[in-house]
Structure 1
Amino acid sequence: MISVPIKDIARPRTELVSADPTASLREICQLMDDRRVGCVVIESDERPAGIITDRDIAMEFSGGATLDDLTADDIMHRDPYTISSDDGVFDLCATMAEHGVRRMPVVEGDELAGIVTFDDLVVLLDDELSNLSEVVRTESPPYEEP
């Protein structure tokens, strides 16, 4: 089975939204809002140290904390699941399903190289299905109304 390498579909490092573990949650929220993303990868020495999602923030505040009370280090998921840029999309999907995650930082060696999200995969799948449906339309007789 042929598998597209992650590096061909991942959002590159330049598009990745990341922050330092010492960033306040106010800063994290502002990054998410400014860049219109649902997660921020927390990095240390150019390596993924954690990840924070918009859901993580919402759940944290159900306990009464404020944006200025906490830092990224306080609520991040440490040592996030990652995928190598050379792995294939099938590996990515299997890993996401196994761990129940929607976002995976992409690494080259140990260094952060980008990110792939569930939404990226849905868009990719939609594009591919659209291409396939055009083949079917081209090769099929036209539908006629009765």
Structure 2
Amino acid sequence: MGTSGVGKTVQDVMHKGAACVGENESLRRAAEMMRDMSVGSLPICGEDDRLKGIITDRDIVVKCCAEGKNLDTTTAGELARGLVWVDAHTSVEEALQKMEQHQIKRLPVIDNHRIVGMVSESDLAKELPDSKLAEFVHRVYAPA
């Protein structure tokens, strides 16, 4: 697998330059952005350019489509969930602990109060030895 991740920070392993969907934009727009960028989640930013939450493709399907809501009138902000994030200078180990604690697979990365990237389980997994990776996967995917 990868190295131990010792000494590395989230900014060393994150995907830089995450695009936000606006909190007042429709879920159809969010889905189009996900499709065009080949991603499964987007940070949601307010008009003040601050992080308001995160939305996943699954959120759109389960909380909008399956509930019979309109993709064109339901906004990303209505489905904003969990304001869990990490600072760009957070260690890889601390980010893993936060993901395990909240059982999440993606984290927005903040620097100077602005989103600068996203870090995923796969980004962090590359930095883990096999034994630590197995433990992480078990904790993140364990039933709540």
TM range (shorter): 0.7 to 0.9
Paired-residue identity, %: 27
Q: Can you give the 5+ residue segments of structure 2 that lack an aligned partner in the other structure?
A: 131-144
Q: Could you tell me which of 73, 76, 87 is aligned with 1:72?
A: 76
Indicate conservation of the 8 Å contact 2:52/2:77, yes or no. no
The answer on whether the counterparts of 1:82 and 1:106 sit within 8 Å (CA) in structure 2 is: yes
Matched, 1:101 2:101: no
Cα-to-partner distance string for 1:109-139 (whole Å, 9 max, x where unaligned): 32111110112223x248x77xxxxxxxxxx
Verify the 8 A CA contact 1:52 1:75 in the aligned structure 2. yes
Is 2:41 aligned against 1:39? yes
Greater helix proportion? 1
**Which structure is higher in RCO with an 8 Å CA cutoff and minimum separation 6?**
2
Moved beyond 6 Å, runs of 4+: none
Residue 66 of structure 2 aligns to a residue in which SS?
helix
Once residues 127 and 88 of structure 2 are traced to their aligned partners in structure 1, the CA distance between those partners, rounded to angstroms, is: 19
Give the structure-2-normalised TM-score: 0.78
Within the candidate set 83, 89, 95, 1:86 is matched to 89
The alignment covers a number of residue pairs equal to 124
Q: Work out the CA distance in 2 between the residues paired with 1:17 and 1:109.
A: 17
**RMSD over aligned Cα, in angstroms?**
1.9
Task: Classify the secondary structure of the residue corresponding to 2:61.
Answer: helix
The answer to whether 1:50 aligns with 2:53 is yes
